[in-house]
Structure 1
Amino acid sequence: MTPKSPNPNFAKALRAVRLERALSQEDFYDVSGRTYVSRLETGGADPTLSKIVQLAQVLEVHPLTLLTLAFCSKGTPAEVDRLLATVTVEVSSFEDLQLGEPDRRRRGR
């Protein structure tokens, strides 16, 4: 996280998007029990990345949408634009990012 990043609030983001989509906690039955979704929405549990992907599929949003909103206080377009601009600058600063490539530093050991 950048030094000025707020603490993420996944609980708030999940609940807001669920309510915006007019879904109940029971609508997540295929990927999670209602009790677990409730715990996620109250901050009583932290989801894994694979669980975020599953929740996003039920919500019909990209997983990054949930994560982006978790780092926003209001979720306004301007706030989202600022956050994504920061991410764009950070990603573009990598000189030789090799996603999916074997770690070259470990060869020959």
Structure 2
Amino acid sequence: MPSRKRVPPQADFGRALQQLRAARGLVQEDMLLATSRRHISRIEQGHQVPSIRIIEVLAAQMQIHPLTLVAAAYCSDLNGASVNELLKTIKVDFKGIVSDSV
């Protein structure tokens, strides 16, 4: 089982939101269906943590799955190696929770 020491202790949701938003070519004003520009700015600066509902709406506006947005918060960089390492950890976690008979 992979060591938990490799998993960052805290998600950097704001950084992930900024990176994914920019990758989609969106500005904060494009996300206003989710919440106010001030709230988005505070989330991106790390001053506020969004609710699940806000995460769902933000993800919908970027046309990605909400789990993609959350998972990106746990990747130190949005590159292949970082994403693959996180996916390996998640796979091991689910293997320990879900039986193969399901």
Q: Identify the TM-score tier after normalising by the shorter chain.
A: 0.7 to 0.9
Task: State yes or no: 1:4 paired with 2:13.
Answer: no
Sequence identity, in percent? 35
- Higher RCO (Cα < 8 Å, 6 or more apart): 2
| 1:45 alignment counterpart | 48
Q: Which residue of 2 aligns with 1:70?
A: 73
Residue 65 of structure 1: how far off its partner (Å): 1.3
Unaligned runs of 5+ in 2: none
RMSD between superposed Cα atoms in Å: 1.4
TM-score, normalised by the number of residues in structure 2: 0.85
Residue 76 (structure 1) shift: 1.0
Between structures 1 and 2, the one with greater helix share = 2
Structure 1 residue 21: deviation in Å? 1.2
Q: Which residue of 1 aligns with 2:16?
A: 13
Tell me, in whole angstroms, the C-alpha distance in 2 between the residues paired with 1:70 and 1:63.
11
Per the normalisation by structure 1, the TM-score is: 0.80
Which structure 1 segments of 5+ residues have no match? 97-109
Instruction: Return the letter of the residue paired with 2:59.
Output: A
Equivalents in 2 of 1:78, 1:24: separation in Å? 27
Q: Which residue of 2 aligns with 1:93?
A: 96
Aligned residues: 95
1:76-100 per-position Cα deviation (integer Å, ceiling 9, x unaligned): 112111111111111111256xxxx
Other-structure match for 1:79 = 82
Q: Which amino acid aligns with 1:20?
A: A
